Amino acid sequence: MTCANNPCYIEIPGDKSITHRALLLSLFTNQEDCIIENYANSLDCQTTLNCLSQLGVKFKQTPKKLIINSTFFRNMQLASMTVNTQNSGTTMRLLTGLLAGCDTEFILSGDNSLNKRPMQRLCEPLKLMGCDFEYLDKIGYPPFKIKGGNLKGIKYRIDIASAQVQSALLLAGLNASGFTIVSVPTLVRTHTSKMFQALNIYQRNFNSQICGVKYLEQPIMPYNMSIPGDLSSAAYFLALAAITHSSHLFLPGININPGRRLIIDALIKMNANIKLINHKIINFEEVCDIEIKGGARLKPFNIDYKNIATGIDEIAILALLMSVANGTSYVNDAKELMYKESNRLALIIQNLENCGVDIKACPDGFVIKGGSQIFGDSLWETHNDHRLAMTGLIASCIAKRPINVDNIKCIDISYPEFIASLKLFSNTFDIR
């Protein structure tokens, strides 16, 4: 591991959530170039780009820059088509909200994994706005047929905190008469709201959990946007650095949106040696450099409904941190994890238990008695879930014996450079 006096610098890829939104909002410009720099080159974001291409959007792509040219959404002459969002739930939800403003008929479908993920929480409020839905297989699940246009604004409260559902309804609200006001029960990531601010799209934030928009009268101006580093991708290296005594890691330019910083809050409360420095605001998003050193004695940490939405994607790596902390930690209200790319909740419990971790299942979470060594010498099942695969590789780095992660290719869904970055950080790392 790197010497404590000489930090390892890792350039984390651009934020995936912000990249999706930057791509989709290009549909609200009118045949002028939008430039998106440091975009996430993950398979998920490439899926969004492919869907835009299917709708007629033109683009030029280099490793660090995208140039997007689109006709204003309402002026597009779109034929009925099937839009395949592959494995990307973000693409499906946000694009459904956007296409709900069009009177063309579309079929939204995904791969086998995505077609098992429930979509009723999005489809039901869009129906209230005037969009027609027809489920083509299982009720509440993709594939489904939509035909929108002539939407009307609504005031809607989402029962389970979801930034994707809130964002999809706000995108629909830009094409709906009157006002659309969407509230969530707890704080979620606010990328859509902040991007509306940056692009001068009217919105009203009643508080951190309620956002409103109105019908967008005119196309927005073309934009040049630089995407900050993805905190969800950084989380794996932050965890490894916190666990490893001799580590010293520096991550420049990471987005720390208040609605997604659970991993940072957890590390601070667990007594990790972490610093947030060089704070700045870029396109209304808070960005900073993160420095972390290993060697601290980690304390237990608890997660429940009050904070789980600010780190739902990081629960697997947080569970690994809990496994080495000195004391008992718990996660509650994590039912949402059952409907990710896999039943992530069940697999977190199974994989850690197979590694020798003292973990007990609860109806919607788990309890971990930490402090003992992770033995390894086990199979780590991913079910093609990229976040489980990355967590499994981090677990293998700290385990007494090797852990066999059954699929590392799925990591490309969110972080194609992950293994290269991990090798950079840990010169003893060996892909097993």
Amino acid at 291: E
Question: How far apart, in whole angstroms, are the C-alpha atoms of residue 322 and residue 409?
Answer: 26
- For 149, half-sphere exposure in the C-beta direction (CA atoms, 13 angstrom radius) is 10
- Helices of type H across 129-255: 163-173, 191-198, 231-243
Question: How far apart, in whole angstroms, are the C-alpha atoms of residue 262 and residue 308?
Answer: 8
Question: Is 103 one of the annotated active-site residues of the chain?
Answer: no
E strands, 169-293, in order: 176-177, 179-183, 204-207, 210-214, 224-226, 248-255, 273-282, 285-293
Query: Would you say 93 and 68 are in contact if contact means Cβ atoms under 8 Å apart?
Result: no
Question: What is the rounded (10 degree) CA torsion for 88, 90, 94, 95?
Answer: -10
Host H or E run for residue 404: strand 403-405
- For 349, half-sphere exposure in the C-beta direction (CA atoms, 13 angstrom radius) is 17
| 62-76 burial code (b ≥16 CB/10 A, e <16) | eeeebebbbbebeee
Of the residues 313, 333, 385, 412, which is catalytic?
A: 313
CA distances from 132 to 75, 129, 150, 151, 155 (A): 21, 9, 11, 10, 19
Query: Would you say 151 and 176 are in contact if contact means Cβ atoms under 8 Å apart?
Result: yes
As annotated, the active-site residues are 313
